[in-house]
């Protein structure tokens, strides 16, 4: 009997999220407003912000976009964030990452009022996540991963989850969120010995390392669920587009791995489709508190 691999696509879930959030916003007395701060003019950052603005337009949320010069000093960034903190017409504040190297990311992020921290990166929300608190704002990609697992009724409680990647935006918060759901979680990284053995032991494998097609057939086994978070620029002759006009592939070799595992998320159209939607889920959570 030939087994069919389930494709965990996020586009239909994103579309239903658009409808649900649009309905919510129509019932609100205020228009939810997200203020995005960009420092410098990196093309990738601009493309991601454009995607946020487009999503906001679809659901009826307002997105403002302020571009600061890449040579700006810390006090200039802090002053703008404090101004937005005090602006009652703004419910969410997001500083687009990455930042120029001369700026202290942690100080900048922690200047954001936790009540407006739509990205869930302030120390207040990090502590809430660690303690499995009731006021968690989960970083958008991590929330998107959980939403995808929930949508396809993939049980995590009692399962062994291996997360490859330990970034503060994806790897760590995803691992802790799944630990809070009673999964047994292992985080792997560049220093992990016998990585292939670790990934093959997983019931659920989540990959977020930024290396195109790094995870191939040798890293997986039948019966696994694989979540690919990677977004890597590619020059493939048949490009798959995710942001702007650039072409992307994941951290997983989809063609190889999809022939072996039980379920896999594609790139594009998987977790990436849910990341922006999850950001606005966070914004609506803040507005409704």
- Which residues lie closer than 8 Å to 194 by C-beta, 6 or more apart? none
> What is the pLDDT, as a whole number, of residue 242?
46
Single pTM value for the model: 0.92
Q: Structure tokens of 78? A: 């802090």
Q: What top-level class would CATH report for the domain 29-113?
A: alpha beta
Domains 29-113 and 138-272 share a fold: yes
Distance separating alpha carbons of residues 50 and 45, to the nearest angstrom:
9
How confident is the model over 193-226, as pLDDT tens digits? 999 999 999 999 999 999 999 999 999 999 999 9
DSSP string, 139-192: -HHHHHHHHHHHHTT---TT-EEEEE---TTTHHHHHHHHHHTT-EEEEE-TT-
Q: Does residue 56 carry a pLDDT above 90?
A: yes
Q: Structure tokens of 84? A: 């937005």
Q: Map out the domains of the chain as residue ranges.
A: 29-113, 138-272
* Known catalytic membership, residue 113: no
Three-class secondary structure of residue 63 per DSSP: strand
The CA-atom distances, in angstroms, between 38 and each of 12, 57, 70, 243 are 30, 19, 9, 17
> Angle at CA 141, nearest 5°, toward 101 and 252?
95
Q: Of the residues 117, 119, 228, 253, which is catalytic?
A: 119
Q: Does residue 155 carry a pLDDT above 60?
A: yes
Percent of the chain with pLDDT over 70: 95
Q: Of the residues 96, 116, 172, 224, which is catalytic?
A: 96
How confident is the model over 106-119, as pLDDT tens digits? 999 999 999 999 99
> What is the pLDDT, as a whole number, of residue 3?
64
* Known catalytic membership, residue 119: yes
* Known catalytic membership, residue 172: no
Mean pLDDT score of the chain: 93
> What is the pLDDT, as a whole number, of residue 245?
53
Q: Does residue 14 carry a pLDDT above 60?
A: yes
Q: Of the residues 38, 52, 91, 203, which is catalytic?
A: 52
> What is the pLDDT, as a whole number, of residue 246?
60
Q: Structure tokens of 91? A: 């419910």
Cβ–Cβ under 8 Å, residues 52 and 33: no
By CB atoms closer than 10 A (0-12, 13-18, 19+), residue 257 is: buried
Q: What top-level class would CATH report for the domain 138-272?
A: alpha beta
């Amino acid at each position: 009997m030939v087994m069919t691999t389930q494709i965990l696509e996020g586009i239909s879930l994103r579309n239903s999220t658009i409808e649900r959030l649009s309905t919510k916003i129509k019932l609100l007395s205020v228009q939810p407003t997200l203020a995005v701060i960009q420092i410098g003019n990196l093309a990738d950052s601009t493309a991601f912000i454009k995607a946020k603005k487009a999503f906001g337009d679809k659901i009826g949320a307002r997105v403002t976009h302020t571009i600061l010069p890449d040579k700006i000093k810390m006090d200039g960034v802090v002053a703008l964030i404090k101004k937005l903190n005090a602006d009652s017409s703004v419910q969410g504040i997001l500083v687009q990452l990455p930042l120029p190297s001369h700026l202290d990311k942690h100080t900048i992020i922690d200047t954001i009022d936790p009540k407006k921290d739509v990205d869930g990166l302030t120390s207040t929300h990090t502590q809430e996540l660690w303690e499995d608190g009731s006021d968690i704002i989960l970083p958008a990609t991590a929330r998107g991963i959980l939403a995808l697992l929930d949508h396809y009724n993939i049980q995590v409680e009692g399962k062994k989850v291996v997360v490859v990647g330990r970034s503060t935006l994806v790897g760590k918060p995803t691992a802790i969120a799944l630990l809070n759901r009673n999964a047994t979680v292992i985080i792997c990284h560049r220093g992990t010995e016998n990585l292939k053995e670790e990934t093959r032991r997983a019931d659920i494998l989540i990959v977020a390392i930024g290396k195109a097609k790094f995870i191939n057939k040798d890293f997986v086994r039948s019966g696994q669920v694989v979540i690919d978070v990677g977004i890597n620029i590619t020059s493939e002759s048949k490009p798959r587009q995710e942001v702007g006009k650039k072409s992307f592939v994941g951290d997983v070799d989809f063609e190889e791995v999809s022939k072996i595992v039980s379920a896999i998320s594609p790139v594009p159209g998987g977790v990436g489709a849910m990341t922006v939607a999850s950001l606005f889920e966070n914004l609506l959570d803040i507005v409704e508190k």
